[in-house]
Structure 1
Amino acid sequence: MTMTLIKLICKAFLLICLCSCGLAFADNAPLDLKPLRSILQLPDNKIDLARAKLVIDKTIDPSIDIRVNLKTIDSMVSTIRSMLPANATDEDKLNALRTYIYYAGSWNSNRAYNYDFDDPLGTRLGTKLLINYIASRKGNCVSMPLLFIILGQRLGLDVTAANAPQHILVKYRDPSGNLINIEATSGAKPARDIWYRQNNPMTDQAIANGVYLRALSKKETVATMTFTLAEHYMDTQEYEKVIDVTDLVLEYAPKSVDAMVLKGTASGRLVKERYVSKYPTPNLIPLEQRAAFESLAHNNQYWFQQAETLGWREPSQADDESYLQRVGKHQ
Structure 2
Amino acid sequence: MTKFLLVILCFPSFIFGQIPNLPDIKSPSPSGFQNYSQQNFGNPNVKSNVPTPPSNYLARSASQIEAQNRKSMLEDFRRIEQEEKQNRELEKETREIQEFNAVYSLPSLAGKEGTKAYYDAFNKLSAMDAENYSLTEANFIVESAFYGNKQDFSQFKSGIEKTARQLLQKMKAEKLDTEDNTAKNIALFKYFSQDTKLKNGSTVTTHKAYKYDFNDPFGSKDYSKMFVSKLLKTGSGQCHSMPLLYLMLAEQMNTEAYLALAPNHSYIRFSDDDGEWKNIELTNGMFSLNTYLLESGYIKSEALQNKIYLSNLSKKELLAQVFSDLASGYIHKFGYDDFVDTVTSKALELNPNSTSAYMHKANTSKMRFEHTANGLGINPYDNKDLQRIKNYPFAVAQLRQVNQNVKNLDQLGYEYMPPEIYEGWLSSMRKEENRQQSEAIAQKLKEANDLKRKQQEALKKAQEQKQKSKDDPAYFKIDPSKL
Tell me which of 100, 111, 122 is aligned to 2:208: 111
* Contact 2:292/2:429, CA 8 A, preserved across alignment: no
Alignment of 1:127-146 (within 5 A): 127-146=225-244
Q: TM-score, normalised by structure 2?
A: 0.57
3-state DSSP of counterpart to 2:261: strand
The superposition leaves residues 177-200 of structure 1 with CA deviations (integer Å, 9 ceiling, x where unpaired) of: 33222112121x321111111136
**In structure 2, what is the equivalent of residue 10 of structure 1?**
none
Shift of 1:128: 1.5
Is 1:308 the counterpart of 2:399 in the alignment?
no
**In structure 2, what is the equivalent of residue 67 of structure 1?**
154
The superposition leaves residues 41-83 of structure 1 with CA deviations (integer Å, 9 ceiling, x where unpaired) of: x152x22111111112222222222222111111111111111
Shift of 1:282: 7.0
Q: d(CA) in 2 for partners of 1:34 and 1:173?
A: 34
Shift of 1:327: 7.9
* Contact 1:233/1:239, CA 8 A, preserved across alignment: no
Give the CA RMSD over aligned residues.
Answer: 2.9
The 1:84–1:196 alpha-carbon spacing in structure 2 relative to 1, beyond 3 Å, is: same
* Contact 2:264/2:422, CA 8 A, preserved across alignment: no
Tell me which of 273, 277, 281 is aligned to 1:183: 281
Shift of 1:326: 3.6
Tell me which of 191, 199, 202 is aligned to 1:100: 191
Is 1:205 the counterpart of 2:302 in the alignment?
yes
Moved over 6 A (4+): 282-285, 327-330
3-state DSSP of counterpart to 2:322: helix
Is 1:158 the counterpart of 2:247 in the alignment?
no
* Contact 1:101/1:113, CA 8 A, preserved across alignment: yes
**In structure 2, what is the equivalent of residue 267 of structure 1?**
365
3-state DSSP of counterpart to 2:258: strand
Q: d(CA) in 2 for partners of 1:317 and 1:98?
A: 26
Shift of 1:203: 0.3
**In structure 1, what is the equivalent of residue 336 of structure 2?**
238
Task: Identify which of structures 1 and 2 has the higher relative contact order when contacts are C-alpha pairs closer than 8 Å and 6+ apart.
Answer: 1
The 1:184–1:270 alpha-carbon spacing in structure 2 relative to 1, beyond 3 Å, is: same
**Code of the aligned partner of 1:96:** A
* Contact 1:104/1:112, CA 8 A, preserved across alignment: yes
* Contact 2:217/2:226, CA 8 A, preserved across alignment: no
Alignment of 1:211-222 (within 5 A): 211-222=308-319
**Code of the aligned partner of 2:163:** M
Shift of 1:145: 0.8
Tell me which of 407, 420, 425 is aligned to 1:323: 425
Tell me which of 116, 122, 141 is aligned to 1:55: 141
Shift of 1:278: 4.7
Is 1:299 the counterpart of 2:388 in the alignment?
no
Q: d(CA) in 2 for partners of 1:100 and 1:301?
A: 45
Q: d(CA) in 2 for partners of 1:28 and 1:154?
A: 31
The sequence identity of aligned pairs, in percent, is: 22
Shift of 1:251: 0.9
Q: d(CA) in 1 for partners of 2:144 and 2:136?
A: 12
Shift of 1:260: 0.9
Q: d(CA) in 2 for partners of 1:262 and 1:199?
A: 23
3-state DSSP of counterpart to 1:182: strand
Alignment of 1:76-95 (within 5 A): 76-85=163-172, 86=175, 87-88=177-178, 89-95=180-186
Gaps of 5+ in 1: 1-24
Q: d(CA) in 2 for partners of 1:120 and 1:27?
A: 27
Shift of 1:120: 4.0
Is 1:252 the counterpart of 2:381 in the alignment?
no
* Contact 2:267/2:281, CA 8 A, preserved across alignment: yes
Q: d(CA) in 2 for partners of 1:148 and 1:261?
A: 26
**Code of the aligned partner of 1:130:** V
The 1:321–1:221 alpha-carbon spacing in structure 2 relative to 1, beyond 3 Å, is: closer
Q: TM-score, normalised by structure 1?
A: 0.80
**Code of the aligned partner of 2:400:** H
The superposition leaves residues 30-50 of structure 1 with CA deviations (integer Å, 9 ceiling, x where unpaired) of: 4242111112xx152x22111
* Contact 1:223/1:253, CA 8 A, preserved across alignment: yes
**Code of the aligned partner of 2:287:** P
Shift of 1:114: 1.1
* Contact 2:327/2:343, CA 8 A, preserved across alignment: yes
**In structure 2, what is the equivalent of residue 6 of structure 1?**
none
Q: d(CA) in 2 for partners of 1:271 and 1:29?
A: 23
Question: Number of aligned pairs?
Answer: 300
The superposition leaves residues 120-169 of structure 1 with CA deviations (integer Å, 9 ceiling, x where unpaired) of: 44534212212111111111111011111221232222101111111111
The superposition leaves residues 88-146 of structure 1 with CA deviations (integer Å, 9 ceiling, x where unpaired) of: 33343223222323323443654331110222445342122121111111111110111
3-state DSSP of counterpart to 2:254: coil
Shift of 1:26: 5.3
The higher radius of gyration belongs to 2
